[in-house]
Amino acid sequence: MIRDSFWTDTYIEKLTPDEKLLFIYLLTNPLCNVAGVYEIRAKRIGFETGYDVEVVETILKRFERDKKILRFEDWIVVVNHIKNQSLNPSIIQGCERIFNELPQDMSQAVTGWVQAGLLNLTLLNLTLPNPTLRKKAARGGGGKNNVSTLDTDCIQASSSTDDGFVEFWTNYPRKIGKGAAEKSWGKLKPPLEIVISAIHEQKKTNQWSRENGQFIPHPATWLNQKRWEDEVETFSNDLIL
């Protein structure tokens, strides 16, 4: 399901027709899942879209440069896919299962992306392995593989050194009264994952989306009223492809 706002996204508007089609394919192909992480060969993409493999690779490289996708061997990660899901508990659990079942090499690649700030998985409760980065030297002349290892402890993708306020503030769309909001956060200590999920859902509501968000509550007010517990109805005209 793709929202009609897809077509007015400033990034999408700048793409060529071929790039738009391929971007839609990445979101809707049979292998795509709720996490936006899947293994697919460029040859299959070309076969199902009608493009030559060289054209597919050229377009995918553009998406990589623009940080819209990440690639490891035949694996693709659609960077903002999770953020655009309706993050109820079942969706979150499904995403966690997908990441937990990744092959070791791919899981290590995900860890590297998280640590580099290229992929945000803070909504998920994951323990990711240490990434081992191997750089293979050119073969021949008796040369040996050159191995570079990043020695770090396993990271908890959903944890941080603070109490979660930084993550809340990053995701909350109205940046006003930070001191009051931080005080309310420290007093209430709300469940971070539920709060972030609620924010993403409420961003889709009429109240939060109209007139440039001027009706979005101040963050401290939102916290004090425990608005993450609201039952939300979203209003959008979705296109099913």
Write the pLDDT tens digit of every residue in 201-213: 888 888 888 877 8
- Residue of 219, 222, 209, 211 lying closest to 5 (CA atoms): 209
Put the strands of the sheet holding 75-78 in their side by side order: 37-39, 75-78, 69-72
Give the CA count within 13 Å in the CB-facing half-sphere of 107: 17
Q: How far does CA 175 lie from the centroid of its chain?
A: 22
Output the pTM of the full model.
0.54
The structural domains of the chain, ordered by start, are 2-83 (1.10.10.10), 86-156 (no CATH), 165-234 (no CATH)
* pLDDT given at position 164: 82
Which of 171, 237, 160, 218 is CA-nearest to residue 199?
A: 171
Give the integer Cα–Cα distance in Å for 52 and 58: 10
Could you tell me the sign of the dihedral formed by the alpha carbons of 34, 40, 44, 50, in that order? positive
Chain segment 8-52, per-residue pLDDT in tens: 889 999 999 999 999 999 999 999 999 999 999 999 999 999 999
pLDDT tens per residue across span 94-142: 998 999 999 988 998 998 898 888 898 887 877 666 554 433 333 334 4
Q: Average the pLDDT over 215-228 and give the result.
A: 93
